[in-house]
Amino acid sequence: MAAALCPCRAVLARRGGALRALCGSVRGLAAGPETHFGFQTVTEAERREKIYQVFESVAKKYDVMNDSMTLGIHRVWKDILVHKMNPSPGTLLLDVAGGTGDIAFRFINYVRSVRERQLQRKLKHHQNLSWQEISESYQEDKSKSLGDSQVVVCDINKEMLKVGKQKAQHLGYSEGLSWVLGNAEELPFDDDMFDVYTIAFGIRNVTRIDLALQEAYRVLKPGGRFLCLEFSHVSNPLLSRLYDLYSFQVIPVLGEVIAGDWKSYQYLVESIRRFPPQEELKAMIEDAGFFKVDYQNLNSGIVAIHSGFKL
């Protein structure tokens, strides 16, 4: 991809040390601090650009690829996230890097079913009302099937949002759902706004994770909850080897066959390896000011849900 910029970089990426620093400083004086794109070393500006291109390229096939790569298990992970959130009607959710809407739709479904159960319970207690009164109470409740719950989906990528919005239209989601093109590192929302902030399989692609966490803290109400669903590290050695094999041998091939895009999925696999493990991410979340930070491993650490509260 950007190998032309520095021929020695590909070799140095593995060697590290003084040579890499020299190469980087000679090449990247204006472009900013160094970071990684998968296993390559790039400047922050380059990384943002490359990641944007990855998602621009995969947007239309994003959902199909998720199903293929994870054999549909990503759906379960996302279900677990929303169940853990356990939102009640009236909850305000900000879903960051939520592109194609998976978390947003689940949130809406969950809140709707909670609301329905609430209504049913209410009706059970109204046994001696007249039919007139019952139908009136039905009507006023029906107009708030979400009970004032709202989800704002924020993503930095136009193509991903486009896909998400189309999906929403197609599946019939409109009430309580909004879409914003924005940067997780620089959110266009006021302080103390949201009850819950989620970022599912997105934080890995953020260039300055510390800034994103600070912004998450800022926009949450006191008492608000931060929830992060992301690929993490598998400590079991046998499982780890199988996982590596699957990741490096199967996934890029799937990427090429299904989406015609080997490189993007190569990036995906590498970015997962580069991402901080559970304890390190926990520390970063605590650094942003969150309390009661903990994590829950899913599938032995292939994925983890980190949670924290703003007090």
Binding site for other proteins (CB under 8 A): 150, 152, 156, 158, 161-162, 165, 174-176, 178-183, 186-191, 193
Tokens of residue 251, six digits: 């996934």
Of 189 and 231, which has the nearer Cβ to other proteins?
A: 189
Whether 310 and 290 have beta carbons less than 8 Å apart is answered as: yes
Closest contact distance (angstroms) between CB of 68 and other proteins is: 28
Closest contact distance (angstroms) between CB of 246 and other proteins is: 36
The identity of residue 255, as a single letter, is: G
Of 61 and 218, which has the nearer Cβ to other proteins?
A: 218
Closest contact distance (angstroms) between CB of 118 and other proteins is: 21
The identity of residue 142, as a single letter, is: K
Determine how many CB atoms are found less than 10 A away from the CB of residue 86: 11
Tokens of residue 62, six digits: 């994003």
Of 91 and 150, which has the nearer Cβ to other proteins?
A: 150
Closest contact distance (angstroms) between CB of 175 and other proteins is: 5
Of 175 and 294, which has the nearer Cβ to other proteins?
A: 175
DSSP-derived secondary structure for 27-55: H-TTT-SEEEETTEEEEHHHHHHHHHHHH
> Facing residues of 42 across strands?
35
Of 86 and 178, which has the nearer Cβ to other proteins?
A: 178
Relative to beta strand 303-309, strand 291-298 is antiparallel
Three-class secondary structure of residue 275 per DSSP: coil
The identity of residue 171, as a single letter, is: L
Tokens of residue 108, six digits: 């809406």
Closest contact distance (angstroms) between CB of 84 and other proteins is: 24
Whether 274 and 39 have beta carbons less than 8 Å apart is answered as: yes
Closest contact distance (angstroms) between CB of 189 and other proteins is: 5
Of 182 and 308, which has the nearer Cβ to other proteins?
A: 182
Of 155 and 261, which has the nearer Cβ to other proteins?
A: 155
Of 87 and 176, which has the nearer Cβ to other proteins?
A: 176
Distance, CA of 186 to CA of 113 (rounded, Å): 34
Closest contact distance (angstroms) between CB of 33 and other proteins is: 19
List the Cα angle 175/202/73 in 5-degree steps: 80
Closest CA to 199 of 70, 285, 266: 285
Closest contact distance (angstroms) between CB of 162 and other proteins is: 8
Distance, CA of 224 to CA of 195 (rounded, Å): 5
